[in-house]
């Protein structure tokens, strides 16, 4: 069911009932962009992952929210879905004005999927954070008190006096004549309207009611109507106040639904949930804290049971059978043997059907995610010999996946999730090196250099440096020794490199190489997974060599102090105020600014070489170069013949 500001108020109770009756809720969201500036790097820790997304993604707007509630039909023994597709646009009045980022490729992508931007802007439902709401409520209360007080008056500048006088006289005539119901004063700029408000208010206090009227074309005129009595003024004032409160409620808008979801404490499911979760918290609850631990507590407090189907599909028994966990690919895979999609009813006028095929409509994607989840859930149950179809939030089947948010970009480097309810994996990086090499080197030169030491994973940082990971971890020391006297390259162990960069953050690579995409190296072999299971006992993958000092994973619920208040507000302790952004170094500040991203090309390295020579000829080139140096190229895979470098959809941004 599509929900816009036109039907929001009447749909609200329906949504409340859907949430109330659901066994689990599935969400999906759409944004105006994905990442601004430096993207996550494959060896990043969950904390670095979070910080990168915080700095690079949270200034985009959340423009569509899909909610699909699954409730169990006891008689028919199957689920029914109630789905809602909300268009969201926080207009500035009376809510806070929003200034936000857009990424052209993201908008282009959404448009190609049939996203209706006109509907978004005209009909989108407003929203705001809790602190904004509190502040606006306080303001309105105070302002309404002050309506009767006198405010500072402005002396009328001489050159306006005759005009003001003219208009006041016309109003006087209108009030006396009793011919028309109302009088409009147009063709006045804001200053004139202010002066007239003041003058008419003084002269015709008891007989005229003056208000601003916004015409359909957004022009503003003054509207004067007659007052029958002072009682009339009072009731009109009351009416106006009432209307202002209604407008405020409308401006809080969708946030109410987000908070209902939170308050329900139900299992909330999403596919590749990280951005959905971050935007949901940041736009409807509170600005995200810069501190990662605070974020985890905050997120877990607001959504105490979450599940990411992309993470779920990346673990056994699904892992080996799922080639691509892009949502539509996953759905296709799960509809074939040995899996099967469940039969789902759709609520009259509110649910999706499988045949609807409205890919990338947030509501539909939420529905599809729900299907995938149920297919996987059923498969797990079947493997245990159960014919269990109904989902319970505390099911032992789900425990391995609960409260773990998939980290698509680092998943293949032993850092596959963020654990909201416990410690994150702390995989070894002993097999990873920071390497400096000659500028003319290409990927093959590096491959060549390491050819004796097995497959490697390369992440280029810039023209002369990269991170290199060995698949033969046992050879780390050998490699370090072997290259210690090499004159062309310099290897530094990853941990040492990170230590050096702890204060001086790594300069974002100003121009990434054409081949900066990582080479996949298999690290999570079934063996490794088994081994790590043995270590932590909770179906946890990854190889946590060092465990952080926080308590074990088996009791996640007890770890974070719950801080939910009755209104769903998360209270951060005084000692840890949550500033909206991390403090940025100069280098990083640049990242959050909008800029052009140039497509990487396979011939880029060479191109820029010969370019430089040509450019020496003209001054024009200097300018171009200056601009070029400021650009950053985002990491995405560049195919041999594809000219595009930016994939708009978050799904395709990850390797699988």
User: By CB under 8 A, what part of segment 371-410 binds a copy of itself?
Assistant: none
Does the protein bind a copy of itself through residue 316 (CB under 8 A)? no
Least Å distance between CB 83 and a copy of itself?
A: 20
CB of 582 closer than 8 Å to CB of 290: yes
- Residue 345's alpha-carbon distances to 148, 248, 359, in angstroms, are 57, 37, 19
Contact region for a copy of itself (CB under 8 A) — 38-46, 129-137, 339-347, 421-429?
129-137
As a whole number of angstroms, the distance between CA 38 and CA 274 comes to 17
Contact region for a copy of itself (CB under 8 A) — 194-202, 472-480, 540-548, 552-560?
194-202
Least Å distance between CB 201 and a copy of itself?
A: 7
Pick from 286, 415, 459, 559 the residue near a copy of itself by CB under 8 A.
286
As a whole number of angstroms, the distance between CA 35 and CA 636 comes to 12
| Residue ranges in 80-99 that form contacts with a copy of itself under rule CB under 8 A | 89-94, 96-99
Does the protein bind a copy of itself through residue 598 (CB under 8 A)? yes
**Helix crossing, 230-252 with 130-145: angle to 10°?**
170
Does the protein bind a copy of itself through residue 239 (CB under 8 A)? no
Q: Strand, helix or coil at 3? A: strand
Number of residues in contact with a copy of itself under rule CB under 8 A: 163
Q: Nearer to a copy of itself by C-beta: 69 or 523?
A: 523
Does the protein bind a copy of itself through residue 332 (CB under 8 A)? yes
Pick from 6, 21, 73, 104 the residue near a copy of itself by CB under 8 A.
104
Write the interaction track for a copy of itself spanning residues 421-460; mark x where CB under 8 A is met and - where it is not.
---------------------xxx--x-------x-----
CB of 464 closer than 8 Å to CB of 437: yes
Least Å distance between CB 653 and a copy of itself?
A: 9
Does the protein bind a copy of itself through residue 140 (CB under 8 A)? yes
CB of 57 closer than 8 Å to CB of 590: no
Does the protein bind a copy of itself through residue 338 (CB under 8 A)? no
Does the protein bind a copy of itself through residue 617 (CB under 8 A)? no
Does the protein bind a copy of itself through residue 336 (CB under 8 A)? no
CB of 261 closer than 8 Å to CB of 19: yes
Q: Strand, helix or coil at 91? A: coil
- Tell me the CA end-to-end span of the chain in Å, nearest whole number: 31
Phi, psi of 57 (to 5 degrees): -125, -20
| Residue ranges in 109-128 that form contacts with a copy of itself under rule CB under 8 A | 109-113, 116-118, 120-122, 128
Does the protein bind a copy of itself through residue 624 (CB under 8 A)? yes
Does the protein bind a copy of itself through residue 250 (CB under 8 A)? no
Does the protein bind a copy of itself through residue 574 (CB under 8 A)? yes
As a whole number of angstroms, the distance between CA 588 and CA 145 comes to 45
Does the protein bind a copy of itself through residue 102 (CB under 8 A)? yes
Does the protein bind a copy of itself through residue 158 (CB under 8 A)? yes
Does the protein bind a copy of itself through residue 164 (CB under 8 A)? no
Q: Strand, helix or coil at 37? A: coil
Does the protein bind a copy of itself through residue 549 (CB under 8 A)? no
Plot region of 380 (φ>0 → left; ψ -120 to 50 → alpha; else → beta): alpha
Does the protein bind a copy of itself through residue 356 (CB under 8 A)? no
Least Å distance between CB 309 and a copy of itself?
A: 16
Q: Nearer to a copy of itself by C-beta: 54 or 553?
A: 54
Pick from 148, 177, 190, 348 the residue near a copy of itself by CB under 8 A.
190
Does the protein bind a copy of itself through residue 326 (CB under 8 A)? yes
Does the protein bind a copy of itself through residue 489 (CB under 8 A)? no
Number of other residues whose CB lies within 10 A of the CB of residue 438: 11
- What string of DSSP letters covers 456-470? EEEEEEETTEEEEEE
Least Å distance between CB 135 and a copy of itself?
A: 6
Q: Nearer to a copy of itself by C-beta: 315 or 645?
A: 645
Strands 2-3, 208-214: pairing kind? unpaired
Q: Which of 412, 415, 409, 384 is nearest to 398 (CA)?
A: 384
CB of 37 closer than 8 Å to CB of 597: no
Q: Nearer to a copy of itself by C-beta: 359 or 551?
A: 359
As a whole number of angstroms, the distance between CA 648 and CA 646 comes to 6
Q: Is the peptide bond before 94 cis (omega within 30 degrees of 0)?
A: yes
Least Å distance between CB 190 and a copy of itself?
A: 4
- What string of DSSP letters covers 271-331? SS-HHHHHHHIIIII-PPPSSHHHHHHHHHHH-SSEEEHHHHHTSTTTGGG-S--SHHHHH
| Residue ranges in 205-224 that form contacts with a copy of itself under rule CB under 8 A | 210-212, 216-220
């Amino acid at each position: 069911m599509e929900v816009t500001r036109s039907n929001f108020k009447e749909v609200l109770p329906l949504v409340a009932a859907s949430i109330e009756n659901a066994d689990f809720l599935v969400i999906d969201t759409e944004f105006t962009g994905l990442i601004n500036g430096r993207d996550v790097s494959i060896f990043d820790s969950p904390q670095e992952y979070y910080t990168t997304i915080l700095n690079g993604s949270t200034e985009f707007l959340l423009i569509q929210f899909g909610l699909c509630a699954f409730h169990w039909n006891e008689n028919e023994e199957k689920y029914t879905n109630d789905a809602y597709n909300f268009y969201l646009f926080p207009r500035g009045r009376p809510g806070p004005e929003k200034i936000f980022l857009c990424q052209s490729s993201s908008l282009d992508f959404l448009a190609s999927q049939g996203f209706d931007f006109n509907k978004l802007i005209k009909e989108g439902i407003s929203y705001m954070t809790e602190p904004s709401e509190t502040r606006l409520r306080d303001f309105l209360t105070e302002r309404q008190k002050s309506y009767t007080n006198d405010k500072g008056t402005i002396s009328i500048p001489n050159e306006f006096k005759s005009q003001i006088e003219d208009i006041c006289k016309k109003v006087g005539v209108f009030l006396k004549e009793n011919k028309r119901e109302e009088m409009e004063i147009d063709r006045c700029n804001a200053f004139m309207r202010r002066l007239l408000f003041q003058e008419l208010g003084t002269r015709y206090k008891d007989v005229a009611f003056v208000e601003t009227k916004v015409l359909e074309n957004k022009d503003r005129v003054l509207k004067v109507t007659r007052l029958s009595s002072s009682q009339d003024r009072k009731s009109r004032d009351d009416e106006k106040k009432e209307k202002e409160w209604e407008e405020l409620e409308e401006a809080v808008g969708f946030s109410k639904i987000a908070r209902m979801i939170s308050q329900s404490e139900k299992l909330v499911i999403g596919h590749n949930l990280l951005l959905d979760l971050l935007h949901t918290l940041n736009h409807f609850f509170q600005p995200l804290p810069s501190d990662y631990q605070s974020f985890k507590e905050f997120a877990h407090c607001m959504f105490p049971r979450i599940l990411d189907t992309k993470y779920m599909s990346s673990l056994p028994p699904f892992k080996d059978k799922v080639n691509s966990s892009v949502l539509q690919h996953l759905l296709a895979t799960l509809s074939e043997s040995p899996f099967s999609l469940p039969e789902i009813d759709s609520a009259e006028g509110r649910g999706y059907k499988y045949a609807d095929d409205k890919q990338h409509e947030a509501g539909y994607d939420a529905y599809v995610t729900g299907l995938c989840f149920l297919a996987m859930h059923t498969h797990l149950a079947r493997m245990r010999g159960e014919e269990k179809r109904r989902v319970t939030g505390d099911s032992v089947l789900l425990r391995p996946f609960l409260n773990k948010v998939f980290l698509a970009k680092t998943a293949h480097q032993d850092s596959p999730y963020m654990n909201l309810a416990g410690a994150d994996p702390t995989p070894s990086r002993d097999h990873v090196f920071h390497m400096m090499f000659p500028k003319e080197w290409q990927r093959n030169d590096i491959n060549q250099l390491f050819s004796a030491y097995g497959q490697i994973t390369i992440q280029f940082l810039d023209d002369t440096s990269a991170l290199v990971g060995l698949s033969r971890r046992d050879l780390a020391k050998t490699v370090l020794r072997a290259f210690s006297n090499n004159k062309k390259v310099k290897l530094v162990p990853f941990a040492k490199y990170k230590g050096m960069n702890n204060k001086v953050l790594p300069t974002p690579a100003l121009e990434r190489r054409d081949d900066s995409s990582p080479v996949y190296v298999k690290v999570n072999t079934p063996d490794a997974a088994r081994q790590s299971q043995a270590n932590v006992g909770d179906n946890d993958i990854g190889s946590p060599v060092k465990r952080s000092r926080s308590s074990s994973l088996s009791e996640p619920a007890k770890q974070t102090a719950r801080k939910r208040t009755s209104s769903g507000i998360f209270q951060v302790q005084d000692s840890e105020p949550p500033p909206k952004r991390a403090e940025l170094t100069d280098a990083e500040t640049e990242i959050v600014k909008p800029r052009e991203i140039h497509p990487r090309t396979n011939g880029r390295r060479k191109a820029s070489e010969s370019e430089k020579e040509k450019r020496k000829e003209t001054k024009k080139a200097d300018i171009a170069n200056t601009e070029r140096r400021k650009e950053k190229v985002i990491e995405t895979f560049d195919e041999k013949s594809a000219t595009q470098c930016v994939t708009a959809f978050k799904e395709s941004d990850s390797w699988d």
